[in-house]
Amino acid sequence: MSIKHEKKIQKLVKEIFPYSSFRPFQLDAIKFAFNIFRNRKIGLLSSPCGTGKSVSILTAYFAAKELDDAVGRLLVLTRTRNQLEIYCRELKNIKEHSHVKLVASVFKSKKEMCPYATEEPKLREVSYRDFLYYCKGLKQGMFGKTCKYYEKTYSGRKPSWHTYTTINKIKDIGPLMPSEVYEKCRKSEICPYEATKILARHADIIIGNYNYILVSAIRGSILGRAGIKTEELNCVFDEAHSLPYYAAGILSDELSSTSVRRALREVERFGLDDFGVLEVFYNVMVRLGRNIYKKYGSEAEHLIQKDVLVNKLSKKLQTKADKLQHVFSELSDLGENIRQKRVEEGKSPISYLSRCANFLLDWLSVENSSYVHYIRVETDRFGRKSVRLGIRCLDPALATKIVNDLRSVILMSGTLWHTSYYMDVLGMEKKRCESLELPNPFPPENRIILVDRAVTTKFEKRNEEQWRKIAERLSKIIQQISGRVAVYFPSYEVMHKVLEIAKFNFPLLVEERRTKISDVLKFFKTNENCVVCGVARGKISEGVDMTDEGKSLLSSVIIVGLPYPRKTELQEALYKYFKDKFGEKAREYSNGIPCLNALAQSAGRLIRSEEDRGIIVVMDARAAGRFKWKFPADWRNCMEVYMNVDKIIGRIADFTDRRWD
């Protein structure tokens, strides 16, 4: 690139960038993204939290598009509502600051954008799956009425004049937050989700979640109907460290014995003939579950062959195995009848029979070696047990291979440290891949990383003495720290073992499976000195913005044990699958890097701006051993390792005192 052309790009970037100055290394991120968009590459960008990745990507895109209109459109994919709203705000800032003309189409979930779902209490608590069935049925007039919002949105197969008028207003005013689009559409009595889909036809930028690319049906519904070809589309995956797990999850499913029991009650209540399938299915699940619980206890996935369930059902029902698919399809239709009858009664559009039948159809259809079937027993906080059957996809690339068809792609995260892992596991074309890892831009003196090497949660060393030791040292460390402390454990089991012994003199909130992120944030804002305990890879450890006006609410993050995936037959199946596919990298890909990501994401809740200061404590000897070399250099260089808990406490006191110097 010539010096003249370089200066032209720099001038263009400054005209688009909506702030008076750049953060450290932000120009490097913009230049990297610009080249990815221009050169049709796949970019992997690791840039710490608080470095302005979102506005950097948008600035780079508009600069590339300004120089070459053939760059095409941009699809930004996020995991959380907060990330989505950040992009909306940055688009507004860019439009207000620069000459850039832009149209943005911003999607929340169909349920969140549905006026009925917000207006009718019966729809608020239904699962997303049940809501989608209801939405489809309502549009087709299955429930004795049709959707007035959908009907007013279209005139025949085309958008109505009324819809075009509303969309043109949104284009002129925008970019708007999804809530703003929702209000304008609701007042116009058109469907906000359908209006956003129509707006996508005219949009330079579309913002949604990962499913908009990874799920073919949604990709066709949103992008296909907007006339957008994948080979002309640039795509950004935010928080891409979670992409392997998310992509495999899209192709996985799980069903509980509770759902089967509820389906049985549905059939009985509505007087339907389920051919005896549900009772047999429930009894088989319970019998298998009892055997598994005796051998393995709770929460351990035990692999079973698909035919174990199929043959038992076939034998009990006296039906040939190849006829079961027809039986389950009929049950699925009966399930939709139940949904329709419930709606006619003024109740929520739930059908457990439909849920069970569709799961059984999926159970039958999965033949690929990339999938396994499993069973586990789950115990709730009241000691009640339920059996869960599952189908797990082992290969994220089955969902992410579409990435290679896109014009350009950027995967970015604050912890995208081992780029070869993502290239391999996601099945990306390596010859198109380029990567950039930016250093931590925040002052190193704002953070200390301490390792307590006197304890471990290594599976072979777990015992009551270890739990007591961890609990006592954890209690002493927290007693020394003032402020809000987040403590993350490798599992609920380890958390409960330690918390049975630990004693804190501060208000305490313990994450449960039903804990809401809003509850945690409220707890933090109500208590200046408090402790929140959660699980790595849980809902309060990843993608959660624990900030107030841009500043971190936390003074410390303590990670108890290395959060390796639990040793189960399912985890071993993943290792074996990766062994066949990636050879000697298998253990690292199935265990090591997922553990590192979980630890890094938990620690990442702490420092969110250059003004934040905080303490990271890792309570596991393994963090000072070979595992240390998995961390980036700025972590390794800052780590201080101690055996004596009093020295840890003294180091914390020294760091805290320096805050007031």
3-state secondary structure 53-105: HHHHHHHHHHHHHHHCHHHCEEEEEECCHHHHHHHHHHHHHHHHHCCCCCCEE
Over residues 322-333, mean pLDDT: 91
Q: What is the DSSP letter of 440?
A: P
∠ at Cα 512 (508, 515), nearest 5°?
A: 85
pLDDT score of 359: 96
Query: Could you tell me if 228 and 317 lie in one domain?
Result: no
Query: Could you tell me if 328 and 449 lie in one domain?
Result: no
588 belongs to a structural domain: yes
pLDDT score of 424: 97
The whole-angstrom distance between residue 215's C-alpha and the CA centroid of its chain comes to 15
144 belongs to a structural domain: no
Closest CA to 52 of 81, 30, 82: 30
Query: Could you tell me if 430 and 382 lie in one domain?
Result: no
74 belongs to a structural domain: yes
Which residues neighbour 160 within 8 Å (Cβ) at sequence distance 6 or greater?
152, 153, 154, 190
534 belongs to a structural domain: yes
Over residues 157-168, mean pLDDT: 91
- Report d(CA 157, CA 381) in Å as an integer: 51
Which residues neighbour 309 within 8 Å (Cβ) at sequence distance 6 or greater?
284, 288, 363, 373, 389
**How does pLDDT run across 367-384, given as a tens digit for each residue?**
888 999 999 998 876 778
182 belongs to a structural domain: no
DSSP 299-339: S--EEE-HHHHHHHHHHHHT--GGGHHHHHHHHHHHHHHHH
Query: Could you tell me if 339 and 418 lie in one domain?
Result: no
Torsion angle in degrees (nearest 10) through CA of 108, 109, 110, 112:
-80
253 to each of 92, 131, 250, 355, 362, how far by Cα in Å? 39, 17, 8, 11, 9
Q: How many CB atoms lie within 10 A of CB 338?
A: 21
556: β partners: 485, 615
pLDDT score of 4: 65
Closest CA to 75 of 265, 209, 178: 209
Query: Could you tell me if 210 and 298 lie in one domain?
Result: no
State phi, psi for 429 to the nearest 5 degrees.
-70, 110
CB 152 within 8 Å of CB 190: yes
CATH of the domain at 370: 1.10.275.40
State phi, psi for 418 to the nearest 5 degrees.
-110, 85
How far the first Cα of the chain sits from its last, in Å, is 48
CATH of the domain at 12: 3.40.50.300
Q: How many CB atoms lie within 10 A of CB 576?
A: 14
Over residues 125-145, mean pLDDT: 85
Over residues 633-646, mean pLDDT: 92
Query: Could you tell me if 384 and 495 lie in one domain?
Result: no
Q: What is the DSSP letter of 642?
A: E
Query: Could you tell me if 233 and 290 lie in one domain?
Result: no
B/e letters for 302-331, b = 16+ CB within 10 Å, e = fewer, are bebebeebbebbbeebebeeeebeebbeeb
pLDDT score of 5: 66
∠ at Cα 557 (660, 489), nearest 5°?
A: 160
Whether 320 shows a pLDDT value over 90: the answer reads no
- State the total domains in the chain: 3
Range of the domain at 304: 253-393
Assign 259 to helix, strand or coil.
Answer: helix
Query: Could you tell me if 321 and 351 lie in one domain?
Result: yes
Whether 545 shows a pLDDT value over 80: the answer reads no
Query: Could you tell me if 260 and 290 lie in one domain?
Result: yes
Max mean pLDDT among 55-59, 445-449, 635-639 falls in 55-59
Whether 125 shows a pLDDT value over 50: the answer reads yes
Assign 443 to helix, strand or coil.
Answer: coil
Query: Could you tell me if 428 and 528 lie in one domain?
Result: no
Assign 132 to helix, strand or coil.
Answer: helix
135 belongs to a structural domain: no
54 belongs to a structural domain: yes
Q: What is the pTM of this model?
A: 0.91
- Report d(CA 534, CA 489) in Å as an integer: 6
284 belongs to a structural domain: yes
- Report d(CA 571, CA 568) in Å as an integer: 5
* The 3-state secondary structure of 158-194, one letter per residue: EECHHHHHHHHHHHHHCCCCHHHHHHHHHHCCCCHHH
Which residues neighbour 357 within 8 Å (Cβ) at sequence distance 6 or greater?
328, 329, 331, 332, 334, 335
Give the residue carrying structure tokens 């990874």.
Answer: 214
pLDDT score of 660: 43
- Across all residues in the chain, what is the average pLDDT? 90
Query: Could you tell me if 320 and 370 lie in one domain?
Result: yes
**632 vs 468, residue with greater confidence:** 468
- Report d(CA 529, CA 507) in Å as an integer: 7
Which residues neighbour 120 within 8 Å (Cβ) at sequence distance 6 or greater?
none
**How does pLDDT run across 41-94, given as a tens digit for each residue?**
999 999 887 788 999 999 999 999 998 888 999 999 998 777 888 899 999 999
486: β partners: 532, 557
Query: Could you tell me if 459 and 351 lie in one domain?
Result: no
pLDDT score of 661: 44
Return the H-helix or E-strand segment holding 457. none
